[in-house]
């Protein structure tokens, strides 16, 4: 059935693997985790004797993390619960963040309808966070409709407000975070008590680069470092193949590793036996693998043609290298090699996001060094891909919010808090209210990982990911200002006689109004919503709004435009 449903070569290959796996599993009379659940549900549902046996055997049933159960698991719970059994479930619908795994907030919300005479006990005391963090989190989650109303309270001492920080450039955000970490570490907070939380894995890239540069130890909790991810290594390998015009240079044997990495990414039908034969022949001729593929000797004509196709592709990429800026050349490489199409056909959204982030990395590196070449960029990246151990005991933890569930830290940085990132663009554009509410639950989980200090940061630079200038997350507007502060010094106002004059000319009034807007300011527009000021020219403000509206030029003195 899976094979019949396959729409692409890759999905057909996966379907064949799945069929092979299922056939082998049945032959071995083995079960995997899903089978244990599905088959148990079938047995209990269709066999009255088995169901009755277990209902009579179990007097007390306790279920933890109930908000994460899926329909099959919930079905098992209902089937084994007899008329006289005591069933106790513990869960928080405000932390239902795994709907993509099958969990549903509706299960816990309808529990008291499925089980009559159910008693609900609200556990409303929080033993982790201080009042400002908890009250702000309570307010954010209160905007959700699908929830059991509750307001958590805490008796933990501490009144540090939530620090908000907006950076005008993408590269400034990780620098700010690094400075804050260094400052707090000097004040006695261990690195292991600090966490960087982000919505998606690709966000780790800029923070990894800065931390490695300034010497802050870190681990990627439950994930892989940015430059070690498969698609990043593949893209860098293709770029490496575009940097060597002279294959006869003995140092070019380092090309072999790059070729071996991408020769079948995407698939080109050059099998492992053919590759081994090419490598042996290259070694005997004392040439590198690329040179061997240009003129293979002892190999079939079919494989020879495929080798010629690969060589022609690389030579074409090299010939167009100077036609593009470095970041646009990456786009050209991913397109011409078919690598991007391969990921699109496989619906590999996260891997595509990582490649967009690689483009941002190149662009940021060019900002820092306008004279940077492809060779120097690859050399620079190689410094970030050594085998430094991830097992350092005293390290800052970088992780997605999903990975952070159940954890707690003294100090939490919630970073890349931008609309289109958190909440994700897909949840806003495709998911409707329920999807947005899950994003808000995710935000709630992120905020409540912090025990004493919560710092929320975002940047307003251009995003290759979103293809627009970024704005702060809509969830930021839901955090009460009484529980936050920003680190930007307030301008000192000196009252002069001129300011006290009641009769001011229109031109001067306009000038005064325009002075309230500066580059980088967050603004609210009555139609376009929240945006960031990119430029002020006279009475015209250039403002970047959300992806839906884009960049607008507006009358800076119009009452519809106000500071956020």
Identify the CATH number of the domain in which residue 338 sits: 1.10.486.10
Which of 91, 121, 151 is the C-terminal boundary of a domain?
A: 121
Do 354 and 237 sit in the same domain of this protein? yes
Do 333 and 398 sit in the same domain of this protein? no
Do 476 and 426 sit in the same domain of this protein? yes
Do 556 and 457 sit in the same domain of this protein? no
CA 208 to chain centre: 14
Do 97 and 40 sit in the same domain of this protein? yes
Give the residue carrying structure tokens 């044997």.
253
Q: What are phi and psi of 252, to 5 degrees?
A: -75, 5
Residue 7 is predicted with a pLDDT of 55
CA diameter of the chain: 93
CA 33 to chain centre: 27
Do 201 and 282 sit in the same domain of this protein? no
Residue 431 is predicted with a pLDDT of 74
This prediction has a pTM of 0.70
Beta strands in 314-449 (DSSP E): 396-400, 409-414
- Closest to 195 measured CA to CA, from 442, 408, 443, 388: 408
Distances (CA, A) of 462 to 146, 367, 465, 493, 544: 34, 13, 9, 32, 9
**Separation of alpha carbons 226 and 230, rounded Å:** 9
Collapsed DSSP state (helix, strand, coil) of residue 458: strand
Do 206 and 324 sit in the same domain of this protein? no
Give the chain's radius of gyration (CA, Å).
29
Residue 548 is predicted with a pLDDT of 60
Residue 79 is predicted with a pLDDT of 95
Does residue 427 fall inside a structural domain?
yes
Do 257 and 328 sit in the same domain of this protein? yes
Q: What CATH code is carried by the domain that includes residue 541?
A: 2.30.30
Residue 509 is predicted with a pLDDT of 39
Look up residue 225 and give its two tokens.
Answer: 């470092």
Residue 194 is predicted with a pLDDT of 97
For residue 548, give its domain range: 507-563
Does residue 17 fall inside a structural domain?
no
Does residue 382 fall inside a structural domain?
no
Within 10 angstroms of residue 175's Cβ, the number of other Cβ atoms is 16
Residue 554 is predicted with a pLDDT of 76
Q: Which residues contact 466 (CB under 8 A, 6 or more apart)?
A: 418, 420, 421, 425, 547
Do 112 and 176 sit in the same domain of this protein? no
Which of 99, 121, 143 is the C-terminal boundary of a domain?
A: 121
Look up residue 92 and give its two tokens.
Answer: 């928080």
Backbone conformation region of residue 189, classed left if phi is above 0, alpha if psi is from -120 to 50, else beta: beta
459 within 8 A of 170, measured Cβ to Cβ: yes
289 within 8 A of 278, measured Cβ to Cβ: yes
Exposure string for 122-138, b = 16+ CB within 10 A, e = fewer: eeeebebbbbbbbbbbb
Q: What CATH code is carried by the domain that includes residue 195?
A: 3.40.50.300
514 within 8 A of 533, measured Cβ to Cβ: no
Does residue 24 fall inside a structural domain?
no
Exposure string for 439-449, b = 16+ CB within 10 A, e = fewer: bbbbbbbbbbb
**Separation of alpha carbons 564 and 166, rounded Å:** 12
Q: What are phi and psi of 508, to 5 degrees?
A: -70, -35
- Closest to 118 measured CA to CA, from 78, 149, 147, 153: 78
Q: ∠ CA 293-294-295 to the nearest 5 degrees?
A: 90
Q: Which residues of the chain have pLDDT under 50?
A: 250-251, 387, 389-391, 489-515
Exposure string for 46-78, b = 16+ CB within 10 A, e = fewer: eeeeebeebbeeeeeeeeeebbbbeeebbbbbe
Do 532 and 473 sit in the same domain of this protein? no
Query: Is residue 209 classed exposed, middle or buried when 0-12, 13-18 and 19+ CB atoms within 10 A define those classes?
Result: buried
**Separation of alpha carbons 330 and 333, rounded Å:** 5
Within 10 angstroms of residue 349's Cβ, the number of other Cβ atoms is 13
Does residue 442 fall inside a structural domain?
yes
Does residue 149 fall inside a structural domain?
yes
Residue 296 is predicted with a pLDDT of 79
Do 139 and 247 sit in the same domain of this protein? no
**Separation of alpha carbons 258 and 560, rounded Å:** 55
Tally the domains of the chain. 4
DSSP codes of every residue in 471-508: -B-GGGGGS-GGGEEESSPPPPP---HHHH-S---HHH
Collapsed DSSP state (helix, strand, coil) of residue 459: strand
Does residue 278 fall inside a structural domain?
yes
**Separation of alpha carbons 429 and 96, rounded Å:** 21
Q: How many CA atoms lie within 13 A of 400 on its CB side?
A: 17
Do 80 and 147 sit in the same domain of this protein? no
- Closest to 385 measured CA to CA, from 262, 161, 235, 268: 235
Residue 57 is predicted with a pLDDT of 93
Helix (H) or strand (E) holding 564, with range, is none
Which of 455, 486, 517 is the C-terminal boundary of a domain?
A: 486
Sign of CA dihedral 432, 438, 442, 443: positive
Does residue 445 fall inside a structural domain?
yes
């Amino acid at each position: 059935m899976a094979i019949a449903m396959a729409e692409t070569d890759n999905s057909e290959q996966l379907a064949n693997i799945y069929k092979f796996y299922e056939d082998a599993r049945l032959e071995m009379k083995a079960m995997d985790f899903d089978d244990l659940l599905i088959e148990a549900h079938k047995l209990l549902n269709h066999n009255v004797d088995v169901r009755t046996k277990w209902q009579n055997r179990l007097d007390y049933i306790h279920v933890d993390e109930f908000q994460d159960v899926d329909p099959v698991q919930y079905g098992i719970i209902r089937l084994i619960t007899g008329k006289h059994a005591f069933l106790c479930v513990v869960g928080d619908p405000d932390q239902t963040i795994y709907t993509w795994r099958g969990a549903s907030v509706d299960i816990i919300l309808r529990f008291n309808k499925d089980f009559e005479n159910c008693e609900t006990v609200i556990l409303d005391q929080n033993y982790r966070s201080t009042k400002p963090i908890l009250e702000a989190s309570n307010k954010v989650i209160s905007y959700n409709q699908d929830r059991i109303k509750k307001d958590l309270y805490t008796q933990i001492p501490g009144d540090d407000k939530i620090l908000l920080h907006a950076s005008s450039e993408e590269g400034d955000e990780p620098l700010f975070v690094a400075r804050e970490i260094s400052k707090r570490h000097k004040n006695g907070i261990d690195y292991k008590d600090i966490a960087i939380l982000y919505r998606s894995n690709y966000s780790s890239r800029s923070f990894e680069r800065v931390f490695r540069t300034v010497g802050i130890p870190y681990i990627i909790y439950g994930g892989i470092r940015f430059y070690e991810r498969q698609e990043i290594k593949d893209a860098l390998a293709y770029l490496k193949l575009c940097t060597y015009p002279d294959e006869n240079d003995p140092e070019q044997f380092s090309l072999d590793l790059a070729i071996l990495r991408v020769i079948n990414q995407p698939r080109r039908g050059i099998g492992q036996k053919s590759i081994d034969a090419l490598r042996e022949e290259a070694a005997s001729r004392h040439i590198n693998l690329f040179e061997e593929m240009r003129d293979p000797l002892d190999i079939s004509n079919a494989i020879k043609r495929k080798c010629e196709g690969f060589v022609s592709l690389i030579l074409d990429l090299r010939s167009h290298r100077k036609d593009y800026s470095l970041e646009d050349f990456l786009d050209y490489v991913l397109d011409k090699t078919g690598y991007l199409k391969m990921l699109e056909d496989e619906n590999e959204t996260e891997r595509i996001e990582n490649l967009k982030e690689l483009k941002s990395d190149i662009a940021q590196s060019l900002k820092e060094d306008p004279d940077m070449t492809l060779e120097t960029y690859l050399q620079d990246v190689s410094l970030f891909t050594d085998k430094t151990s991830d097992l350092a005991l005293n390290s800052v933890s970088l992780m997605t919010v999903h990975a952070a569930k159940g954890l707690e830290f003294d100090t939490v940085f919630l970073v890349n808090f931008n609309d289109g990132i958190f909440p994700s663009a897909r949840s806003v554009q495709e998911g409707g209210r329920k999807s947005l509410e899950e994003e808000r639950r995710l935000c709630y989980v992120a905020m409540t990982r912090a025990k004493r200090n919560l710092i929320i940061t975002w940047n307003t630079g251009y995003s290759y990911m979103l293809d627009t200038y970024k704005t702060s997350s809509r969830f930021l507007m839901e955090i009460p200002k009484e529980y936050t502060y920003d680190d930007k010094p307030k301008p000192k106002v000196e009252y002069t006689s001129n300011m006290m004059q009641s009769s001011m000319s229109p031109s001067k009034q306009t000038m005064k109004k325009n002075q309230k807007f500066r580059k980088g300011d967050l603004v609210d527009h009555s139609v376009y919503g929240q945006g960031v000021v990119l430029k002020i020219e006279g009475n015209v403000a250039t403002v970047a709004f959300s992806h839906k509206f884009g960049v607008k030029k507006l009358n800076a003195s119009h009452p519809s435009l106000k500071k956020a």
